[in-house]
Amino acid sequence: MPLLRRAAVTAAVLAGPVGWLTAAAWGLPTALGAHRRRLRPVVAGSPHFSDGAFRNTLPTPALAPANTRDGLLRQWHEERHVGLPGGPIPLVHAELPAEAAELAVTWFGHASALLEVDGRRVLVDPVWGHRVSPSPVFGPTRLHEPPVPLEELPPVDAVLISHDHYDHLDLPTVRALLRTQTAPFVVPLGIGEHLRTWNVPEERIVELDWDGVHEVAGLTLTCTEARHFSGRYLHRNTTLWASWAIAGPRHRVFFGGDTGYTPAFAAIGARLGPFDLTLLPVGAYNDAWHAIHMDPEEAVRAHGDLGGAVLLPIHWATFNLAFHRWAEPVQRLLAAAGPREVAVVVPRPGERVDVLAPPPLRDWWTAVGSAADGHGDAAGVGSSVLARTLTRLTALLPG
């Protein structure tokens, strides 16, 4: 083969992979956030930071021992489609009132929600991006569209972030909120450095350690303990993770973010509760990472510890991040809540609930079903579950 032709063939063969890799890496350094060298001066004074990392109060492995690695990879190969819905997820385009209510919540899917507390609004863990990943072409994609355009949200008084994982801290959403809102970002310690890297003005950043308090618009926002981990690349636990207590003059809300079960919930309930509403994670659980993600039964237990009145399950439905069936989290939650007579609301993504007069529970998830039941589109499974599995496996690496 002539030299020039051979070179042309080689270039053609390489063009596809090289182009894909270039696209996958586009914007990667920015999306990763602040480097740990930049974070260290900000976080080093925290009592929860030692030996270069934040620590949970209880010993908390991010994964089971290394001998489970083969089992996780086998589970990904055999069950990667299980977490997909069997049909379209019904969405609601809620009509949000001009004036915030005494106590209401609009759930947008996963952990994103708009809280209305005593006439004020708080946006929690807003993620409107298509893909929860540093890469525009690799990583978990949405299972449903955002039910409400971000630009249609009314002015909010604060944006709360629980931790820096991509499914809770989304760069495209942060950039959009810089244009559409003026509220401060109230975040756990260290996440402010990510925001500064993304050109969020200093006056819109409030960083708190556990038990730290910030007052805004008549609301008291308390950064409370959670049992989880952090990291946007291989260096883990360089920023703090948290849950949040939102207290107004008359009502209180607890936002769990992403957490494993911890006895700290009982202490939070005793000190800052009882809570009129709790938003607690119920999905993405697995035996291999049980310490960092609650299962539905643990969410019911945590709700009781917190002195909760109404429970809204979050951290399910929107992204395929584990191996359980799509509707299983809410089905197990209701089975556990029934005998304890726990009041549960399960809105469709985008649906607004008046917590003081909640609607009757309506089962909309059974009709959606799971792709594991023999129907549904398996497109995109590999990137979704593989990305989360690889993320978990990196937790086994030293350093």
For residue 120, what are the contacts with CB-CB under 8 A and spacing of at least 6? 100, 157, 217, 218, 219, 248
Closest CA relative to residue 368, chosen from 376, 379, 357: 376
What per-residue confidence (pLDDT) applies to 389? 42
Cβ pair 111, 315 in contact under 8 A: yes
b/e sequence 331-340, b meaning 16+ C-beta within 10 Å: ebbbebbeee
Q: Would 173 be classed as within a structural domain? A: yes
Q: Does the model's pTM come out above 0.75?
A: yes
Phi/psi of residue 10, each to 5°? -60, -45
Structure tokens at 79: 């069950």
Q: Is 39 inside any structural domain?
A: no
Residue 114 maps to a domain: yes
- Alpha-carbon gap, residue 274 to 268, rounded angstroms: 9
Structural domain of residue 120, as residue ranges?
Answer: 79-392
- Residue 253 corresponds to which tokens in the numbers above? 């809300």
Residue 54 counted as domain residue = no
R_g of the chain, CA atoms, integer Å: 21
- pLDDT surpasses 60 at 77: no
Q: Contact 165/147 with Cβ under 8 angstroms?
A: no
pLDDT at 13 over 70: no
pLDDT digits (tens, 9 = 90+) for 294-329: 999 999 999 999 999 999 999 999 999 998 999 999
Q: How far does Cα 264 stand from its chain's mean position?
A: 20
- Of 170, 89, 93, 55, the closest CA to residue 124 belongs to 170
Q: Is residue 31 part of a domain?
A: no
For the chain, give the percent of residues with pLDDT over 70.
82
Mean of the pLDDT values across residues 80-87?
87
Q: What is the DSSP letter of 289?
A: G
Q: What is the pLDDT of residues 116-151, one digit of tens each?
A: 999 999 999 999 999 998 887 778 899 999 999 999
Number of domains in the chain: 1
Most confident of 48-57, 70-79, 380-389: 48-57
Nearest to 221 by CA among 252, 192, 255, 245: 245
| pLDDT value at residue 235 | 82
The residue among 77 and 320 whose pLDDT is bigger is 320
The CATH number that applies at residue 144 is: 3.60.15.10
pLDDT at 353 over 80: yes
Quick one: average pLDDT of 208-228? 98
